[in-house]
């Protein structure tokens, strides 16, 4: 953990990440090398790490996939994808590709065609890695990235272990990065953890959530625990409620088969949304040691009040988008998407109200919402403070005092804002809401970031702080399992129930209106 503490301290003092040194040499193996995740996020993140001089000269990237390709064909496909992304926005943003940096990375790429269910694939991979150890200076360190369908997670790990590729000897490390979804319910998450932990140690497993690579997410702990101004306010005495929103302006695109099995709740809540919740609500850790931080995050999720019976239906909302207009373009309904059942009951929107049963948060509701084809691409944590008393303003033109909010913007405009009331100029007392706004891009020099750069670097240096531990994963599924059970035994709402390009179903507004509250606008 010393590496992370040093880097954070240096950033505070200079505004630059000067103390981060190149990661140790290693061979990084991507299973699913021909897939969308590899092309769109993982390889661009590695390119950004090259630009930041965070990869050692002994780094090598090995792609493994069923697709029949040569190393040159794989390399060219990635080159074309990178070039096509220039100037088109999205997760990877660049005005141009630095050819020197890209050539550095491309020259360190190789590809193996193979079936994940075939032990021969892993034997050939082992031979290839052994040769790289001799010729490329990888140091015998291996990072295996599972950018594959979740049904292959256990199989791939078991084959890696059987091929003797996970054994750590003489200071050489072996680590596995596992993408979500980590299970589809509580039982499957427990089974997957048990299967993987038969052959790996917990410290070898990096369950990745790219939301935690966002600078604002990482800054939540700094905001809370490094500032005497905020921490005394962070409790039930001062906070009325918290809203966590992750809205998207994309539909399911070409992921219909995956989404039909998954839905918004499984896709977003036990991982992304609960990680944001945990960072917001956790108690101060004793240090920034990975286990200390992850232990406090797990405590928060374990403290979520269990849903019981009809409450699971009353305090949760599911929606599915209809045809509509998103960012000025007409889009089709979910049921008309490729590989989607025309009568599908899969939710593309989810919202819920939950409470955390501990001393700090007793009685404070947390509202979560996430959806596809919403009005705006926006992820934020909004903390609403208690209303001030009206007595002082009796007899003035003030009909209702303005609420105080602290807004932590995760994406796309990373920053923190504090909203409060101020008197307008003039002879009478009239209030307006004003905002003090901190934007990362105006205060710090922001390097291009897909959300994966910090996480990949941390995998290579062995810092597990931003990754989920087995107990954290299982606690998340434990919290949502009653909702899944209640849905399975209750009639599905009349889908579709919200127009694409809107704010979600009316039931989501009613969820807050019952207690006199309202969602923050997505306009």
SS (H, E, C) 158-176: HHHHHCCCCCCCCCCCEEE
Same domain, yes or no: 299 and 420 = yes
Same domain, yes or no: 228 and 146 = no
Residue 244 structural domain: 212-442+470-513
What is the total count of domains within the chain? 2
CATH assignment at residue 159 = 3.40.50.720
Same domain, yes or no: 171 and 233 = no
CATH assignment at residue 495 = 3.30.360.10
Q: What tokens appear for 431 in the block? A: 């209030």
Same domain, yes or no: 220 and 158 = no
> Is 144 exposed, middle or buried, given 0-12, 13-18 or 19+ CB atoms closer than 10 A?
buried
- List the catalytic residues: 272
State how far the Cα of 330 lies from the Cα of 332, in Å rounded to an integer.
Answer: 7
| pLDDT, tens digit (0-9, with 9 covering 90-100), for 395-454 | 555 555 678 999 999 888 888 999 887 777 877 777 777 889 988 778 877 666 777 899
Helix and strand counts by DSSP (H, E) for the chain: 17, 18
The residues, any chain, with a CB within 8 Å of residue 39's CB and separated by 6 or more, are 77, 78, 81
State how far the Cα of 41 lies from the Cα of 45, in Å rounded to an integer.
Answer: 6
pLDDT of amino acid 397: 55
State how far the Cα of 96 lies from the Cα of 352, in Å rounded to an integer.
Answer: 42
pLDDT of amino acid 448: 64
Whether residue 291 lies inside any domain: the answer is yes
pLDDT of amino acid 447: 65
Query: Cβ distance 22 to 54 under 8 Å?
Result: yes
Q: What angle do CA 329, 330, 331 make, to 5 degrees?
A: 115
State how far the Cα of 177 lies from the Cα of 209, in Å rounded to an integer.
Answer: 10
pLDDT of amino acid 414: 84
SS3 of residue 61 by DSSP: strand
Same domain, yes or no: 46 and 149 = yes
| pLDDT, tens digit (0-9, with 9 covering 90-100), for 324-374 | 999 999 999 999 999 999 999 999 999 999 999 999 999 999 999 999 999
| pLDDT, tens digit (0-9, with 9 covering 90-100), for 301-317 | 999 999 988 999 999 99
Same domain, yes or no: 127 and 263 = no
Place of tokens 């839905």: 263
pLDDT of amino acid 396: 55
Q: Model pTM?
A: 0.88
Whether residue 184 lies inside any domain: the answer is no
Whether residue 130 lies inside any domain: the answer is yes
The tally of CA atoms less than 13 A away on the side-chain side of residue 346 is 25
Quote the DSSP letter at residue 34.
Answer: T
| pLDDT, tens digit (0-9, with 9 covering 90-100), for 205-248 | 999 987 777 776 778 888 888 888 888 899 999 999 999 999 99
Query: Cβ distance 116 to 156 under 8 Å?
Result: yes
> Strands 142-146, 109-113: parallel, antiparallel or unpaired by DSSP?
unpaired
Higher pLDDT, 69 or 15: 69
Whether residue 328 lies inside any domain: the answer is yes
To the nearest whole number, what is the mean pLDDT of the chain? 89
Same domain, yes or no: 160 and 283 = no
Whether residue 520 lies inside any domain: the answer is no
Same domain, yes or no: 169 and 250 = no
Please name which of 165, 163, 176 lies closest in space to residue 203, comparing C-alpha atoms. 176
Whether residue 318 lies inside any domain: the answer is yes
Categorize the per-residue pLDDT at 77 as very low, low, confident or very high, splitting at 50, 70 and 90: very high
Whether residue 144 lies inside any domain: the answer is yes
Domain boundary among 179, 199, 224: 179
| DSSP string computed for 76-139 | HHHHHHHHHHTTS-SSS--SS--HHHHHHHHTTEEEEE--TT-HHHHHHHHHHHHHHHHHT--T
Please name which of 19, 60, 102, 33 lies closest in space to residue 460, comparing C-alpha atoms. 60
Domain boundary among 156, 179, 202: 179
Percent of the chain with pLDDT over 70: 91
Sign, Cα dihedral of 19, 216, 29, 155: positive
Same domain, yes or no: 221 and 128 = no
State how far the Cα of 181 lies from the Cα of 153, in Å rounded to an integer.
Answer: 10
C-alpha torsion 471→473→475→480, nearest 10: -170
Whether residue 418 lies inside any domain: the answer is yes
Instruction: For residue 288, list its beta bridge partners.
Output: none
Query: Cβ distance 246 to 376 under 8 Å?
Result: no
pLDDT of amino acid 142: 98
Q: What tokens appear for 327 in the block? A: 């960012």
pLDDT of amino acid 234: 95
The residues, any chain, with a CB within 8 Å of residue 222's CB and separated by 6 or more, are 8, 12
Same domain, yes or no: 172 and 256 = no
Say yes or no to pLDDT of 10 above 50.
no
Please name which of 489, 484, 471 lies closest in space to residue 185, comparing C-alpha atoms. 484
State how far the Cα of 109 lies from the Cα of 61, in Å rounded to an integer.
Answer: 5
Domain boundary among 126, 157, 179: 179
Give, to the nearest 10 degrees, the angle between helix 153-162 and helix 119-135.
Answer: 60
Say yes or no to pLDDT of 9 above 60.
no
pLDDT of amino acid 403: 83
| pLDDT, tens digit (0-9, with 9 covering 90-100), for 92-151 | 666 778 899 999 999 999 999 999 999 999 999 999 999 999 999 999 999 999 999 889
Same domain, yes or no: 132 and 266 = no
Same domain, yes or no: 99 and 140 = yes
């Amino acid at each position: 953990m010393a590496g992370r503490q040093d880097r954070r301290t240096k950033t505070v003092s200079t505004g630059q990440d000067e103390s981060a040194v190149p990661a140790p040499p290693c061979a990084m193996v991507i299973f699913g090398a021909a897939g969308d995740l590899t092309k769109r996020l993982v390889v661009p993140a590695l390119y950004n790490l090259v630009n930041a001089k965070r990869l050692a000269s002994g780094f090598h990237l090995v792609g493994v996939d069923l697709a029949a390709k040569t190393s040159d064909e794989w390399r060219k496909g990635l080159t074309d994808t990178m070039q096509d992304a220039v100037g088109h926005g999205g997760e990877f943003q660049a005005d141009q590709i630095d050819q020197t940096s890209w050539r550095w990375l491309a020259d360190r790429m190789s590809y193996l065609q193979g079936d994940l269910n075939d032990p021969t694939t892993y034997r050939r991979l082992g031979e290839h890695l052994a040769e790289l150890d001799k010729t490329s200076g990888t140091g015998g360190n291996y990072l295996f990235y599972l950018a594959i369908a979740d049904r292959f997670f256990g199989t791939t790990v078991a084959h890696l272990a059987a091929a003797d590729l996970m054994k750590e000897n003489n200071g050489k490390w072996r680590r596995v990065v596992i993408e979500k979804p980590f299970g589809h319910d509580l039982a499957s998450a427990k089974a997957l953890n048990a299967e993987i932990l038969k052959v790996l140690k917990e410290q070898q497993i990096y369950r990745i959530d790219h939301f935690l690579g966002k600078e604002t997410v990482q800054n939540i702990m700094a905001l809370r625990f490094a500032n005497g101004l905020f921490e005394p306010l962070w409790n039930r005495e001062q906070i009325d409620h918290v809203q966590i929103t992750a809205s998207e302006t994309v539909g399911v695109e070409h992921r219909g088969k995956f989404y039909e099995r998954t839905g918004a709740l499984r896709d977003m809540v036990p991982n992304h949304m609960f990680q944001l919740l945990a960072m917001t609500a956790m108690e101060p850790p004793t240090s920034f040691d990975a286990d200390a931080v992850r232990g406090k995050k797990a405590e928060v999720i374990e403290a979520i009040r269990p849903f019981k019976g009809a409450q699971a239906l009353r305090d949760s909302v599911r929606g599915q988008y209809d045809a509509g207009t998103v960012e000025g373009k007409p889009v089709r309904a979910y049921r008309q998407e490729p590989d989607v059942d025309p009568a599908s009951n899969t939710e593309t929107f989810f919202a819920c109200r939950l409470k955390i049963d501990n001393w700090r948060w007793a009685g404070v509701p947390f509202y979560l919402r996430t959806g596809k084809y919403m009005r705006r691409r926006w992820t934020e944590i909004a903390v609403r403070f208690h209303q001030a008393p009206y007595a002082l303003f009796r007899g003035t033109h003030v009909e209702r005092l303005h609420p105080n909010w602290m807004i932590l913007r995760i994406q796309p405009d990373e920053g923190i804002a504090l909203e409060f009331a101020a008197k307008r100029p003039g002879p009478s007392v009239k209030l307006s809401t004003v905002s003090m706004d901190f934007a990362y891009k105006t205060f710090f020099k922001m390097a291009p970031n897909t959300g994966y750069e910090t996480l990949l670097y941390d995998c290579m240096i062995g810092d597990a702080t931003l990754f989920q531990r087995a107990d954290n994963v299982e606690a998340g599924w434990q919290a949502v399992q009653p909702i899944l059970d209640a849905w399975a035994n209750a009639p599905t709402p009349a889908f579709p129930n919200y127009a694409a390009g809107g704010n979600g179903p009316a039931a989501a507004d009613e969820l807050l209106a019952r207690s006199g509250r309202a969602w923050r606008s997505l306009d």
